[in-house]
Amino acid sequence: MRRVRSHFDRGEVSDIWGEMLQTPLCPLWLYFSRSGLRAVYFNHPGQQLGPQWPVRVRPTEAKLMADLHRWRWETVTALGAYFDGRIPDFGRLTLDMRGTAFQVRVWQALRQTPFGGLTSYQKLAQCIGMPGGARAVGGALRVNPLPIIIPCHRVLTANGGLGGFSAGLNYKRYLLSHERLVLDGNPLPPYVSDC
């Protein structure tokens, strides 16, 4: 695991530890803070995300190193299960979800959408008590730092269109098809969940 100095928090420099995970979809960058998994980034071809340095942790930070290694193992295991065609338990991961109160509320509500399930921006807005807030929900999902873990790929437009996805629609199509194939061999999602 490498230590990365990054500007994740509006100009505040944080200690972030990063590692690339190879997946069938594309390499994923996993970033951990002192509080848990902070971000997952799709590594598009030719893209390099930030400078990296070897981790240098003082002996007094042994607990932090143990936490980082445990969080890394749990995350890699869960994502490995996901891409190996098993339904992962992302709810057990230690996440460092940072955003506005509204964004975090949207992300937490979205985590209730099961593997292979779908919801819409409109339904998600209703679930958090903001009927008519579909655009605001879309804005919160646009900055979701933990795609796949917080499954923004499972959110469609009210008429069933794909909408958007921070990593691109090809990745969204792949993730949706992957989940349907795992569940029943059908690459097209047949239902929409309540949230």
Q: Residue 26: how many CA atoms within 13 Å on its side-chain side?
A: 18
Which single residue is written with the structure tokens 């995300």? 49
Q: What dotted CATH number matches 101-184?
A: 1.10.10.10
Of the residues 26, 127, 152, 195, only one is catalytic, namely 152
Task: Confirm whether 195 is a catalytic residue.
Answer: no
The string of pLDDT tens digits covering residues 35-61 is: 999 999 988 766 555 444 344 455 457
Count of other CB atoms within 10 angstroms of residue 87: 13
Tell me the pTM: 0.82
The string of pLDDT tens digits covering residues 54-92 is: 444 554 578 888 899 999 999 999 999 999 999 999 999
Domain ranges in the chain? 2-92, 101-184
Q: Which of 154, 91, 147, 87 is nearest to 120 (CA)?
A: 154
